[in-house]
Structure 1
Amino acid sequence: MAETRLAFKAGRAFRRGSTNFVDPDPTKGALLLQNGEDGLLHFIWKNRSSNEVDEDLILFPGDATFAKVEQSAWGRTYVLKFSSSNQRHFFYMQDADASRDEEFVGNINRLLVDPSIVPIWYSAGYNPNTQAAGPSTSAAPAASSSQVPSSGFQATPEELARIRSIVSTLGAGGSSGAAAAQPQQEISLTDVLTPANLRPLFAARPELAQALFPHLPADLPSPPSVETLERVVASPQFRAAVRNLDMALRTGLLGGLVRTLGLPEEAGTGVEPFLRALQEQARREEGDQMDTD
């Protein structure tokens, strides 16, 4: 099974004849970097409207770079170029928020050098335009693959169910979950699934330790305990996995996958629809339990 390491919204741009001008194609798209079943890194452009893969490039470590086109009139155009050929593929950012452009580009270039690395995400409040990047700026330091859970982008139904279990409980019984499901502004899963939000929930519902442990790494100490769960949700690996799932939801490409959780396809089109669908599902399940009491 292919493993998606990175994904974000981006459109394609095409060279105008034999000139040095490129024109943006308005089609909604997403760029994905995947470790394929063939063991090679795939650079994929997917149409977000049709969900079809229109471009699938196989890249070898160190052969390609993803760089900003400084001459771009609209400022957010990038080119994938190769050291082994004169190929050029142009793309432009389609997310309205440009604050994470450098973050995505940095992770692309790290993966183009070493497809096995763990993407590095900036910590909350970090502004790459005003602060010098360093080891302390990342939310999740690099770690070996044996220590890191699967990327949020190739999340299995079981992995999504783990997130669903936590968030739906927040939506059903906690004020922080209700607030998260009805945001006044755009939110992220990293704002919801924080240690500060989850610790009170674990303290009030210690039975969650028993319910969640089967979905967590097998090498955790036993028996299941609230203290172990608290260590998990505070770990850099958990934070990175939540950030990856958040980013995957923002691409709008998880509609098919969330249906395996009994959620409507719209729940895979963004963070807010995802949380609202979980809250509604939690309400229905709570109602079913009351009916059978």
Structure 2
Amino acid sequence: MDSSSTEAVPVMQEILLEFRAGKMCFEGKRVMPDTRKGLVRIGRGEEGLLHFQWLDRTQNVIEDDQIVFPDEAVFEKVNQASGRVYLLKFKTDDRKFFFWMQEPKAEDDQQLCISVNDYINRPLEFLEEEQSVASTPLQVSEGTVEENIPSSSSLRPVKLEDLQRILSNIESSDIDVDPDAGFGLGDLLKPDLIMPLLETLPLEQSLASYLPEGPWSPEDILELLQSPPFRQQVDSFTYVLRTGQIDLSQFGIDPSKYKFTVLSFLEALEDSVSKMSNSEAGQDEKDVRSESNLMDES
């Protein structure tokens, strides 16, 4: 998820790490420093996921919010830069976020970098175990803006705001991730698979109610499907599906008949649609027979 200050940002249930750093913005092919005083915050949201945030330290406003899954990103020093520049780089797409350190002691930068990578790549269950015994967050900076955030509260059901229409009442589960889970939903969104469908099927009409108002061409829809925010939402859905943190009955699926894998989920949806089509066909046939009988009686 990629949020800005104009969007609703999840409240952090627990702050794990904070340090002072400004962000850098792309200007053409160059990366220029934003001169504002900033703060990088790593925390766990109410939904149980890890967030990497950047705040305007003066205004205490969260401008950037990224959900990071284990082994999805790396935080590293940009050796080509002359200053204390660091980069949050995602492995699954082309997202890159540059920061320039504002902590007074440059000798602490390396340890901060190690701590960031430790948190963003730590399995989620480790974060949950830590949360139950957590006391105070690791804060490198002094005098930074503080928020009243509970340090010890019970875990809430996982609710991804980005998928709120689909993922309601998601509960914790003891089901382990299947190591042979196979491909993710994101694998189905490759241009060579999607474009033929967009060009041959009236998908614009089917998707119109879910898209912002205005004309949408197949190319526009493809660009949306490939955008980093959308891809991360898809990855979020894949994650909660594989870990069993979703109630399949919401989709009319009997959980006892299918596995928590993307392939099994798609098979279940296909079966559900097939049953629905057969039911509608049977109803249409019944209506035709009724009309025929009425005509015979008349």
TM-score with structure 2 length normalisation?
A: 0.41
Indicate the structure (1 or 2) with the bigger Cα radius of gyration: 2
